[in-house]
C-alpha cells in the first residue's frame, strides 16, 4: 500500500488518450529516473474516433503547458478559432438566433448586469449588450491579430479542429517531446491482483504489462471500467433524447471562403445540426432522437441543409457516417487503481462541446492529485468521483436548459422536451428561482464549474426568459451598469475595426506564424 506510484498505463489513444498522456507527462518528470513512467497502448485494429471538433478556451492553457507551439498546432490540425456557439431556430423556428460567447459579461465579477439589461431586452440582445464577442461572431472576425502572441487574445477563444489530425499530432508530440512510451498492440486479457486491483494487462505481442495506475481511454467500449469492473452505466436518455448522429464533410466553395468563428447549431425537427468551420472544410452533422425521427428522414433533413452549401448533386452523393450515441455516464469513474477518461466515462451529446473539456479536466485532476502511493489512491478516487458526478449533473442541467425554453409546437420532439417529467428537479428549482433573481455567483456551488452562471445567463436570456424586477437597486450600481454598457459599446467598435476575419488570420499564420510568447 505504501509502494510509490511510478508507472501509469493508458489503454486507448485518440484525443482522450493522448491528451491525458500529455497533460500528466507535462506535469511530472516523465523520462527521468525519478519521474513517472507513462505508457500508452492502443490497438491497430480499432479506428479512433475523436470526441468532437470543438474545444473550450481551456485548451489554450493545456496546449501551452504541454509545450506545443500554437502556430504548429493550428497548421497541423487544420484548426481555426472558436469564440462560442450560435443557436438558430431553437425558440420559434422563424430564423431567430442567439449567441453563447466565450467572454464573460463585461464587469461580471463586479456586478450582475442582467437586471439592468432586462428593461431593454426588446431593443438589444443580452449577448450584444454585455460583451463584444457576439458582434465579432456576426462578422466572422478572428479573436486576435497576427501580431498577437501565441495563446494571447483580444477576445477569448477555443478551437475548431480536425479530431483525427489532432490525435496524431498529440501522439507525435507526446512520444518525441514528453517521453511517453507508445505500444501498438491488442489487449487480450486483464489480470487482477489479490486486492482486486488491475495487476497487469496481457497484450498479443508484448505480453503482460504492469502498472500502478491504469487509465481507461478505450471509448464507449470501456474495457477496463465497464467490462472488467462492471461499473454500472447511468442512462440520461430520458432527459437528453439525442442518441444518434449523422456526420458529413462539406467542402468550402473556394479557398477564400469565410470561416465561421462560432459553432453553428441549427434546430431541426428532432434534434439539431452542427456546422463547424475549418480552414479546409466544414464539419457538419445532425444529432437527433431515434425515438422521434427515422434515420432516413434525418438524412433527408441533413441533405436539405447541405444542399445550398455544395449543390444538389454533390449533397446527394456525399458520404454520410452514422454514429450511435448512448447518453449517460458511469456510476463512478475511478475504481480501485483504474480511472476512466473520455467516452469510457460517459458521453451525452455534442451540444456545447463538453467532451474534450471533460478530458482536460479529468486528466488535470489526475495529474495534480496524483497519489504518491496506493494507500492515498482511494481517498483521491473518492474526491475525483464526487467532483465529476457533480460536473456531469451540471452539464446535464445546462444542456437541458437549451431545450426546455423552446416555444416550438411543430414536432413531438420539441414538445416532449418541455414536459416536466423530462426535466431534472435541480433544473426545475433553478428555473423557478430565476423567475425572481438572475443567475449569478451563488448559483456556482462548486469551484471550477463546467458551466458558470454567466453561461446560464447567455442561454436563458438568449431564449427569451424573463426575470422579474427584484428589489430596487442602489443608484450607484445603476450608474456602474450604465458605464459598463457604454464601455462595451466602445470596445466593440474598436475590435470591429481592428480585427481581421478568421480566414485572413489563418492565411497569415500559415505564411508568417504567430509571435512566440
Question: Reduced to 3 states, what is the DSSP secondary structure of residue 8?
Answer: strand
- CA trace torsion 138, 313, 274, 237 (10° rounding): 150
Per residue in 485-503, pLDDT tens? Answer: 999 999 999 999 999 999 9
Mean pLDDT (the chain) is 94
Distance of alpha carbon 441 from alpha carbon 431, whole angstroms: 16
CB 406 within 8 A of CB 417: yes
Distance of alpha carbon 258 from alpha carbon 502, whole angstroms: 7
On whether both 278 and 318 belong to a single domain, the answer is: yes
On whether both 431 and 508 belong to a single domain, the answer is: yes
On whether both 145 and 179 belong to a single domain, the answer is: no
* Domain contains 397: no
- CA trace torsion 273, 362, 215, 165 (10° rounding): 40
**Which range marks the domain in which residue 177 is found?**
7-53+162-234+327-392
Question: Where a domain ends, among 267, 292, 324?
Answer: 324
Of the candidates 293, 305, 265, 286, the residue with the CA atom closest to the CA atom of residue 399: 265
The count of structural domains within the chain is 3
CA 263 to chain centre: 11
Query: What cell was used for 395?
Result: 452539464
Query: Which pLDDT belongs to residue 50?
Result: 43
Distance of alpha carbon 4 from alpha carbon 35, whole angstroms: 11
CB 465 within 8 A of CB 98: no
Per residue in 21-31, pLDDT tens? Answer: 999 999 997 87
On whether both 47 and 118 belong to a single domain, the answer is: no
On whether both 146 and 191 belong to a single domain, the answer is: no
On whether both 248 and 265 belong to a single domain, the answer is: yes
Mean pLDDT of 226-255: 96
CB 268 within 8 A of CB 286: yes
On whether both 380 and 445 belong to a single domain, the answer is: no
Query: What cell was used for 291?
Result: 425515438
- List, as one string, the DSSP characters of 308-373: HHH-HHHHHHS--EEEE---EEES-SEETTEEE-GGGTEE--SGGGHHHHHHHHHHHHHHHT--SB
Distance of alpha carbon 255 from alpha carbon 279, whole angstroms: 8
Q: How many CB atoms lie within 10 A of CB 339?
A: 30
Query: Which pLDDT belongs to residue 46?
Result: 66
Give the strand order in the sheet containing 187-192.
Answer: 187-192, 198-203, 207-210
* Domain contains 255: yes
Question: Where a domain ends, among 306, 324, 342?
Answer: 324
Question: Reduced to 3 states, what is the DSSP secondary structure of residue 479?
Answer: helix
Pairs from 186-195 (Cβ < 8 Å, separation ≥ 24): 186/43, 186/44, 186/45, 187/11, 187/41, 187/43, 187/223, 190/223, 190/224, 190/228, 195/336
Distance of alpha carbon 345 from alpha carbon 335, whole angstroms: 12
Mean pLDDT of 51-76: 93
Per residue in 96-129, pLDDT tens? Answer: 999 999 999 999 999 999 999 999 999 999 999 9
* Domain contains 211: yes
Distance of alpha carbon 130 from alpha carbon 106, whole angstroms: 6
- In SS3 terms, 140-171 reads as CECCCCCCCCCCCCCCCCEEECCHHHHHHHHH
Mean pLDDT of 63-80: 97
Mean pLDDT of 454-461: 97
CA dihedral sign, ordered 346, 403, 241, 164: negative
Q: Using the predicted structure, report yes or no on whether residue 472 has a pLDDT greater than 70.
A: no
Q: How confident is the model at residue 449 (pLDDT cuts 50, 70, 90)?
A: confident
| DSSP secondary structure letter of residue 65 | H
* Domain contains 296: yes
The backbone region for 107, taken as left when phi is positive above 0, alpha when psi lies in -120 to 50, beta otherwise, is: left
- List, as one string, the DSSP characters of 109-135: TT---HHHHGGGTTTS-HHHHH-SHHH
Q: Please name the residues in contact with 107: beta carbons below 8 A apart, sequence gap of 6 or more.
A: 113, 480, 484, 487
* Domain contains 86: no
Helix, strand and coil content of the chain, in percent to the nearest 5, comes to 40, 20, 40
Question: Reduced to 3 states, what is the DSSP secondary structure of residue 40?
Answer: strand
Query: What cell was used for 217?
Result: 481511454
Please report which residue ranges of 29-79 form alpha helices under DSSP H: 58-65, 70-76
Per residue in 500-512, pLDDT tens? Answer: 999 999 999 999 9
Query: Which pLDDT belongs to residue 445?
Result: 77
Q: Using the predicted structure, report yes or no on whether residue 49 has a pLDDT greater than 60.
A: no
On whether both 121 and 258 belong to a single domain, the answer is: no
Query: What cell was used for 109?
Result: 465579477
Q: How confident is the model at residue 362 (pLDDT cuts 50, 70, 90)?
A: very high
On whether both 342 and 300 belong to a single domain, the answer is: no
* Domain contains 408: no
Q: Using the predicted structure, report yes or no on whether residue 391 has a pLDDT greater than 50.
A: yes
Q: Which residues pair with 264 in a beta bridge?
A: 86, 275
* Domain contains 252: yes
Q: Using the predicted structure, report yes or no on whether residue 51 has a pLDDT greater than 50.
A: no
CB 248 within 8 A of CB 302: yes
Distance of alpha carbon 343 from alpha carbon 359, whole angstroms: 9
Question: Where a domain ends, among 274, 307, 324?
Answer: 324
On whether both 223 and 349 belong to a single domain, the answer is: yes
Per residue in 128-181, pLDDT tens? Answer: 999 999 999 999 999 999 999 999 999 999 999 999 999 999 999 999 999 999
Structural Rg of the chain based on CA atoms: 23
On whether both 353 and 230 belong to a single domain, the answer is: yes
Query: Which pLDDT belongs to residue 286?
Result: 97
* Domain contains 376: yes
Q: Using the predicted structure, report yes or no on whether residue 258 has a pLDDT greater than 70.
A: yes
Classify each residue of 253-275 as buried b or exposed e, where b means 16 or more C-beta atoms within 10 Å of its C-beta. Answer: eeeeeebbbbbbbbbbbbbbbbb
On whether both 312 and 335 belong to a single domain, the answer is: no
Mean pLDDT of 72-89: 97
Amino acid at each position: 500500500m505504501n509502494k510509490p506510484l511510478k508507472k501509469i498505463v493508458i489503454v486507448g489513444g485518440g484525443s482522450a488518450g493522448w491528451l491525458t498522456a500529455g497533460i500528466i507527462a507535462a506535469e511530472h518528470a516523465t523520462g527521468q529516473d525519478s519521474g513517472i513512467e507513462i505508457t500508452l497502448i492502443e490497438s491497430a485494429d480499432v479506428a479512433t474516433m475523436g470526441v468532437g471538433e470543438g474545444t473550450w478556451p481551456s485548451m489554450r492553457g493545456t496546449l501551452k503547458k504541454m509545450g506545443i507551439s500554437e502556430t504548429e498546432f493550428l497548421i497541423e490540425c487544420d484548426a481555426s478559432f472558436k469564440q462560442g456557439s450560435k443557436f438558430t431556430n431553437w425558440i420559434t423556428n422563424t430564423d431567430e438566433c442567439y449567441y453563447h460567447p466565450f467572454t464573460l459579461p463585461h464587469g461580471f465579477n463586479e456586478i450582475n448586469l442582467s437586471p439592468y439589461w432586462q428593461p431593454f431586452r426588446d431593443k438589444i440582445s443580452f449577448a450584444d449588450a454585455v460583451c463584444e464577442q457576439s458582434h465579432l461572431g456576426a462578422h466572422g472576425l478572428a479573436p486576435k491579430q497576427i501580431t498577437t502572441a501565441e495563446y494571447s487574445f483580444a477576445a477569448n477563444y477555443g478551437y475548431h479542429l480536425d479530431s483525427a489530425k489532432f490525435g496524431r499530432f498529440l501522439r507525435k508530440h507526446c512520444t518525441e517531446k514528453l517521453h511517453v512510451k507508445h505500444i501498438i498492440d491488442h489487449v487480450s486479457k486483464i489480470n487482477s491482483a489479490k486486492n482486486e486491483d488491475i495487476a497487469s494487462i496481457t497484450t498479443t505481442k508484448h505480453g503482460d504489462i504492469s502498472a500502478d495506475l491504469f487509465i481507461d481511454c478505450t471509448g464507449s467500449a470501456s474495457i477496463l471500467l465497464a467490462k472488467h469492473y462492471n461499473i454500472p452505466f447511468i442512462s440520461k436518455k430520458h432527459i437528453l433524447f439525442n442518441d444518434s448522429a449523422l456526420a458529413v464533410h462539406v467542402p468550402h466553395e473556394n479557398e477564400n471562403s469565410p470561416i465561421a468563428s462560432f459553432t453553428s447549431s441549427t434546430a431541426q425537427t428532432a434534434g439539431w445540426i452542427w456546422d463547424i468551420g475549418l480552414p479546409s472544410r466544414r464539419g457538419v452533422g445532425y444529432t437527433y432522437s431515434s425515438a422521434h425521427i427515422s434515420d432516413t428522414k434525418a438524412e433527408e433533413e441533413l441533405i436539405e441543409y447541405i444542399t445550398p452549401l455544395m449543390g444538389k448533386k454533390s449533397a446527394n452523393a456525399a458520404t454520410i457516417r452514422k454514429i450511435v450515441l448512448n447518453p449517460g455516464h458511469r456510476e463512478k469513474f475511478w475504481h480501485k487503481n483504474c480511472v476512466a477518461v473520455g467516452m469510457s466515462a460517459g458521453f451525452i451529446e455534442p451540444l456545447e462541446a463538453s467532451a474534450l473539456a471533460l478530458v482536460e479536466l479529468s486528466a488535470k485532476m489526475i495529474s495534480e492529485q496524483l497519489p504518491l502511493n496506493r494507500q492515498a489512491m482511494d481517498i483521491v478516487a473518492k474526491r475525483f468521483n464526487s467532483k465529476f458526478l457533480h460536473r456531469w449533473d451540471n452539464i446535464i442541467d445546462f444542456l437541458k436548459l437549451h431545450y426546455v425554453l423552446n416555444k416550438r409546437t411543430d414536432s413531438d420532439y420539441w414538445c416532449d422536451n418541455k414536459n416536466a417529467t423530462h426535466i431534472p428537479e435541480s433544473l426545475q428549482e433553478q428555473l423557478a428561482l430565476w423567475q425572481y433573481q438572475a443567475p449569478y455567483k451563488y448559483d456556482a456551488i462548486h469551484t471550477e464549474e463546467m458551466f458558470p452562471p454567466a453561461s446560464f445567463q447567455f442561454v436563458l436570456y438568449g431564449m427569451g426568459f424573463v426575470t422579474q424586477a427584484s428589489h430596487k437597486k442602489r443608484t450607484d450600481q445603476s450608474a456602474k451598469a450604465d458605464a459598463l454598457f457604454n464601455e462595451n459599446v466602445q470596445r466593440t467598435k474598436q475590435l470591429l475595426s481592428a480585427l481581421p476575419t478568421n480566414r485572413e488570420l489563418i492565411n497569415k499564420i500559415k505564411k508568417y506564424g504567430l509571435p512566440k510568447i
